[in-house]
Amino acid sequence: MPITIQSGQFAALPNGMRLHYASSGTPGKPLLLFVHGFPEFWYEWEAQLGHFGRDYFAVAPDLRGFNLSAMPDALESYKAKHIVEDLRLFAEHLGYSRFVMVAHDWGGAISWNFALSHPQYLYKLVNINSPHPYLFWKALMHDPAQRAASEYMNWLRAEGSEAVLARNDFALLEAFMNAKGRTPMPWFTPEVRRKYHACWARGLTGAVNYYRASPLHPPTADHPGPLKFQLAAEDFRIRIPVRVIWGESDVALLNPLIAGIEDLIDDVKVERIPEGSHWLVHEQPDRINRLIQGFLDE
C-alpha cells in the first residue's frame, strides 16, 4: 500500500518562526528529519517520505525563507545559527529530543552546524553533497579550482540576483539545477517543474540570503570571506555516526572536498557515486533510500 504524504502542515515555533512541513508515517515512531537545499523545498524528499513512512515518522520542513515557511526580511535572520535553532525547536515541537537527520546542499551545511552545536539531539547524520565546513574553508583558502567552482556563490550574493533568477520563467534557475546545462534532467518532469515554479514564485530573496549571510564564499576585493578566519580542525570534530553520500560528478562541489573527512569525524563512512551529480537525490532516489536504510539498520 502506498505511503500517504501529508503536506500543508505548519509549526509555530517559540522563536517566532512558522515552518511549513510535509510528513509521512506515524508520530511517535523514530523521527527522520529531512533538510533540503537551494533552490529546493520539502518536495526534494518526496521519494524518501514515500519510503520511510512505513517504519519512521519522516518529516521534511521548508526551511525559513523557502516556499511556504516564514520569510524574515533581515539578512541577519539567515545566519546558520538561526536555521539550526529552527530545526532544534521544530524537532521539539514534534515531540522529539533525539532523531536522525538527513540533509543535502544548504541543508547539509546546516546539518554540520547542528551536529557540532547539538550532538545530543542526533543519533546519526546522513549528509549528501555538502562539504564539512572546515574542509570547505580550507578549499576556499587554498584550492583555486574550488574557488572557481564556487564563484556562483558571489553572483548569488550580489544585489538583485533573485530578480535575475526569476527572469524568463525561471530559466536561469532551471539551468542551475541542470548541472549548469551539461546534462538532461529526466526527473524534472512537467509536473515536477510546475511544483518548483510554484515554490520559486513565492519568493527567492530568503533563499538567496543564505549565501549573503554566509562567511564561507570565495574571497573578493571587498569581502575577505574565509580569509578573515583562522580555524582549528579540532573545533570542528563531529562525534556522532555520519554517513556521507557524495556524487562525484558535482560541478560545484569538487571531489577534493571529501579528502581528509575521516580525520574530522569519529565514525564516518563515505559512499561515492561516480556518475551522481549535485542532484543525485533526484537522479537516484531508490539508491539513496537503500543507502540511508543501510545506515539506519547498522
Residue-wise pLDDT for 84-116, tens only, equals 999 999 999 999 999 999 999 999 999 999 999
pLDDT of residue 179: 64
Determine contact, residues 102/48, Cβ cutoff 8 Å. yes
Q: Which residues of 60-96 are buried (b: 16+ CB within 10 A; e: fewer)?
A: bbbbbbbbbbbbeeeeebbbbebbbbbbbbbbeebeb
Burial of 235 (0-12, 13-18, 19+ CB in 10 A): exposed
Distance (Å, rounded) from C-alpha 202 to C-alpha 225? 30
Domain boundaries, the chain: 6-297
CB 176 within 8 A of CB 39: yes
Read off the pLDDT of residues 243-280 as tens digits, 9 standing for 90 and up. Answer: 999 999 999 999 999 999 999 999 999 999 999 999 99
**Residue 101: closest CA among 136, 80, 125, 131:** 125
pLDDT of residue 222: 82
- Yes or no: is domain 6-297 CATH 3.40.50.1820? yes
269-290 burial, b at 16+ Cβ within 10 Å, e below that, comes to eebebeebbbbbbbbbbeebbe
pLDDT for the residue 1: 67
Write down the pLDDT at residue 226.
82
pLDDT bin (cut points 50, 70, 90) of residue 237 is: very high
Cα(226)–Cα(238) distance, rounded to whole angstroms?
Answer: 21
Tell me phi and psi for residue 271, to 5 degrees: -100, 110
Residue indicated by cell numbers 576585493: 221
What percent of the chain lies above the pLDDT cut of 90?
91
